[in-house]
Amino acid sequence: MARPLLRLLLLVLFVAIGRLGPLAVRSEPIQDRAALLAFLDAIPHKQRIRWDANSSACEWVGVTCDANRTAVVALRLPAVGLVGPIPAGTLGRLSSLRILSLRLNRLSGPIPDDFAGLASLHGLYLQNNLFSGGIPSWLSQLTGLVRLDLSGNNLTGEIPFAVSNLTHLTGLLLQNNRLSGSLPSISIDSLVGFNVSYNRLNGSIPRTLRRFPESSFVGNLDLCGRPLPPCNPFFPSPAPSPTAEENPVKSRKKLSKTSIVGILVAAVVVLLLVLLLFLICLALLRRRRKQKAAMTAAAAAAGEAAGRSGGTGITSSSKDDLSSDVAGSGAATMAGAAEKNRLVLVGSGGGYRFDLEDLLRASAEVLGKGSVGTSYKAVLEEGTTVVVKRLKDVAVSRREFEEHVETLGQLERMDNLLPLRAYYYSKDEKLIVLDYLPVGSLSSLLHGSRGSGRTPLGWESRMRIALAVGRGISHLHTSARIVHGNIKASNVLLRSDLDSVVVSDFGLHPLFGSAAPPNRVAGYRAPEVLETRWPTFKSDVYSFGVLLLELLTGKAPNQLLTGKAPNQASLGEEGIDLPRWVQSVVREEWTAEVFDVELMRYPSTEEEMVQLLQIAMSCVATVPDARPDFPEVVRMMEGIADRTAST
């Protein structure tokens, strides 16, 4: 009895297992299977991949499914002779994929955009193919990525900063591509393998990536900084000197946390001592006065002697105090110096966050040597670009410098003025930091690349630039009561919106003292400034008048004369005296000859052009008092602009 029952039970069990078995095998990631087949159909490959249509996709070579066989989680097809671009809508549909390895094939084209949907991806191995195009920015959305290997392809463009979003990354391998630009400061703590060697990168290696060995960075166009050889210094560092004052960066680095605390404590102690000393002195002085007052004439001599001995007592005791604390006070000076030699942000600082070290590490390019000093374009890590001016011949003390620059920094919200963002003052270097505007200056717009390939600058554009500049300087004069002192076309910086053109380098002349002539470009300098060497509101009006003439004639005041212009307008080596040239041409009734040929395409606006010419000529009157003031100039120009707009 028992036997048949057992047999029956066993039979039932076997049948059940027999049913279950094939059922389990047949359970299939149906959609993923279709995606895989579509991929293999569309892409040439060697016969090594034989995906048997009769068996489950989970059994296929290179395919791994999850535990209940509902999805493909890994696809590994290394060196199977895949050729050409990955067809869209195939692998990108494997939405549960965690590992994708297609290394060592001949896949080409861009990395497909639909990979952006592979949200579970942990490892992406596409190395040693022929992928081209850029590193896609959507990679930063695949925040589960642990390993990303794109090395040995033909990738171009920059490494996106957004890669920093991949906070679980342990390996980022980009070597042997054709990537360019500078390295973003990728800051991923978990990163242990990093390689960008043999690309075309340039610029300095960001602090966050310095822990990787030299071999992670070699073979690039122009990478520099630790662990590679140092970058060309942004500006020649001052001669090595033992004092903190003259070598700010070094001293900053040397100060550890504990020594900073020590220095602070010492500074406080010294401060308290000085205060105490001062109070004692004050008290003694007061007592002495009282004594003096109370003394009779006869006792005066004796009293004074007593007072003198008291005085020497103080000095000697103060000497003792100081000598007993010499180390402390020395440290305090150093702390003071380190603090003082900081880069100081002024105003809102433009939202910038960087310090002197960042600036020193930035890659820099000389923009020009101007009358106030040399300007550099500095590209900081993370792509912030600023202009740094090394001011030369600064003739004021640190305090005066700081006060003045802070004042200028307060003007940051005024339209049409280029805000000053930060400054640095040390014995050897005085820097100011300004926004970088990529479009360039009015000078290069007016005088650069004349001839073929140039888009002519029309009347309306010139008028808008003139008004924007006029408004900027008018604000400066009326709201801030500051003289610009250096108006010229190369200090007018363009923006794509011509109404928001800005004026730079304003109000700097007080820093140079009267030894250095303002407006060293002779053509813009008002005649009286040659003697007084000090610009005024009225001399600004003169310079602006020259600028208007420049806009109207297309001639640079510092350009040498050619052609039939009367030669008494020549300033010799220094160029032309634009006002005199215009006067002579107008006097001889060639008014039309005055205007830039590019403006002659607009005959209907000649009347307005003549009106602007008249305003300009009133600005360049020889006698300062005969010139209008700035708000008046702007009002007159607005009158013309209104008429231009209404016609």
Ligand X SMILES: *[C@@H]1O[C@H](CO)[C@@H](O)[C@H](O)[C@H]1NC(C)=O
CA distance 192 to 172: 8
Q: Is 105 in the site for ligand X (CB under 6 A)?
A: no
Q: Is 559 in the site for ligand X (CB under 6 A)?
A: no
Q: Is 363 in the site for ligand X (CB under 6 A)?
A: yes
> Which two three-digit tokens encode residue 396?
């004021």
Residue of 162, 228, 249, 255 interacting with ligand X (CB under 6 A): 162
User: Which residue lies nearest ligand X, judged by its C-beta?
Assistant: 363
Residue of 64, 96, 120, 165 interacting with ligand X (CB under 6 A): 165
Q: Is 197 in the site for ligand X (CB under 6 A)?
A: yes
Minimum distance from CB of 211 to ligand X (Å)?
11
DSSP H stretches of helix in 27-97: 30-42
Minimum distance from CB of 198 to ligand X (Å)?
6
Angle, to 10 degrees, between the axis of helix 326-340 and the axis of helix 300-324?
A: 70
- Contacts of residue 13, defined as CB under 8 A and 6 or more positions apart, other chains included, come to none
Residue of 47, 68, 258, 323 interacting with ligand X (CB under 6 A): 68
Name the one range near ligand X by CB under 6 A: 198-206, 427-435, 536-544, 559-567: 198-206
Residue of 105, 127, 129, 176 interacting with ligand X (CB under 6 A): 176
- The answer to whether the beta carbons of residues 644 and 605 sit under 8 Å apart is yes
Q: Is 222 in the site for ligand X (CB under 6 A)?
A: yes
Distance of CA 361 to the CA centre of its chain: 12
Question: Which phi and psi (to 5°) does residue 501 adopt?
Answer: -55, 145
Site string for ligand X, 326-355 (x = CB under 6 A): ------------------------------
Residue of 18, 110, 213, 313 interacting with ligand X (CB under 6 A): 213
Query: Shortest CA distance to 273 belongs to which of 339, 332, 338?
Result: 332
Q: Is 216 in the site for ligand X (CB under 6 A)?
A: yes
CA distance 433 to 424: 8
Nearer to ligand X, 376 or 506 (CB): 376
Residue of 19, 143, 280, 330 interacting with ligand X (CB under 6 A): 143
Residue of 46, 61, 154, 324 interacting with ligand X (CB under 6 A): 154
AA identity, residue 596: D
Minimum distance from CB of 159 to ligand X (Å)?
13
Binders of ligand X among 482-501, rule CB under 6 A? none
Length of the chain: 647
Nearer to ligand X, 380 or 489 (CB): 380
Query: Shortest CA distance to 502 belongs to which of 423, 415, 566?
Result: 415
How many chain residues bind ligand X (CB under 6 A)?
A: 28
Name the one range near ligand X by CB under 6 A: 61-69, 252-260, 263-271, 394-402: 61-69
CA distance 248 to 240: 11
Name the one range near ligand X by CB under 6 A: 65-73, 82-90, 394-402, 517-525: 65-73
Q: Is 180 in the site for ligand X (CB under 6 A)?
A: yes
Query: Shortest CA distance to 434 belongs to which of 457, 452, 468, 411?
Result: 411
588 CB-contact burial (10 Å; exposed 0-12 / middle 13-18 / buried 19+): exposed
Residue of 7, 59, 79, 215 interacting with ligand X (CB under 6 A): 215
CA distance 203 to 381: 9
> Which two three-digit tokens encode residue 134?
């850029």
Name the one range near ligand X by CB under 6 A: 192-200, 315-323, 385-393, 428-436: 192-200
> Which two three-digit tokens encode residue 591?
């008014």
Q: Is 124 helix (H, G, I), strand (E, B) or coil?
A: strand
CA distance 102 to 99: 10
Residues of the shown chain interacting with ligand X in the complex, contacts defined by CB under 6 A? 52, 54, 66-68, 70, 130, 132, 140-141, 143, 154, 162, 165, 175-176, 180, 195, 197-198, 202-203, 213, 215-216, 222, 363, 379
